[in-house]
A and B are shown apart, each in its own frame.
Chain A
Amino acid sequence: MSFDQSEVEKIAHLARLAVSDDEAQHLTADLSRILDLVAVMEKVDTSGVEAMAHPLHMTQRLRTDEVTETDQRDQNQKIAPATEAGLYLVPRVIE
Chain B
Amino acid sequence: MHNNSITQLAEGLRAGDFSSVELTRHYLQRINQLDEGLNSFITITEEQALAQAEAADKKLTAGEGGVLTGIPIAHKDIFCTQGVRTSCGSRMLDNFISPYDATVVERLSDAGVVMLGKTNMDEFAMGSSNETSFYGPVRNPWNLDKVPGGSSGGSAAAVAARLCAAATGTDTGGSIRQPAALCGITGIKPTYGRVSRYGMIAFASSLDQAGPMAASAEDAALMLQAMAGFDQRDSTSMQQPLPDYSATLNESLQGLKVGLPKEYFDEGLDAGVRQSVEQAIEVYTALGAEVREITLPNTGLAVATYYVVAPAECSSNLSRFDGVRGGYRCDNPVDLEDLYKRSRSEGFGEEVKLRILIGAYVLSAGYYDAYYLKAQKLRHLISDDFKQAFEDVDVIMGPASPTTAFGVGEKSDDPVSMYLSDVYTIATNMAGLPGMSIPCAPVGGLPVGLQIIGNYFDEARLLNVAHQFQQQTQWHQQLPEGV
Binding site for B on A (CB under 8 A): 8, 11-12, 14-19, 27, 30-31, 33-34, 36-42, 44, 46, 49-57, 60-61, 63, 72, 75-76, 78-82, 88, 90-93
Contact = CB atoms under 8 A, between A and B. Distances in A.
Given A46-B377, A79-B99, A60 B235 contact: yes
A33 B322 CA distance: 28
A38 B206 CA distance: 19
Given A31-B357, A46-B377, A80-B324, A75 B308 contact: no
Interface stretch (B107-115, B336-344, B471-479): B336-344
Contact of A8 (B99, B341, B356, B357): B357
Given A11-B361, A56-B432, A93 B336 contact: yes
A50 B377 contact: yes
Given A17-B344, A30-B415, A31-B354, A57 B99 contact: no
Contacts of B323: 81
Interface of B: 95-97, 99, 191-193, 206-207, 232, 235-236, 238-239, 300-301, 303-305, 307-308, 315, 319, 322-327, 329, 333-342, 344-345, 348, 353-354, 356-361, 364, 370-371, 373-381, 383, 414-416, 419, 429-432, 456
Contacts of B334: 91
Contacts of A76: 99, 325-326
Contacts, number: 165
Nearest to A40: B304
- B interface majority secondary structure: helix
A25 to B, nearest CB: 13
Contacts of B376: 51-53
Contacts of B239: 61
Contacts of A80: 324-326
Contacts of B361: 11, 31
A17 B356 contact: yes
A18 B304 contact: no
Nearest to A77: B325
Contacts of B380: 49-52, 57
B360 A11 contact: yes
10 contacts: A11-B364, A12-B357, A14-B364, A17-B356, A34-B416, A34-B419, A46-B378, A51-B380, A56-B456, A93-B336
A38 B308 contact: yes
Pairs A-B, 6 closest by C-beta atoms: A55-B432, A51-B376, A81-B329, A18-B341, A46-B377, A15-B360
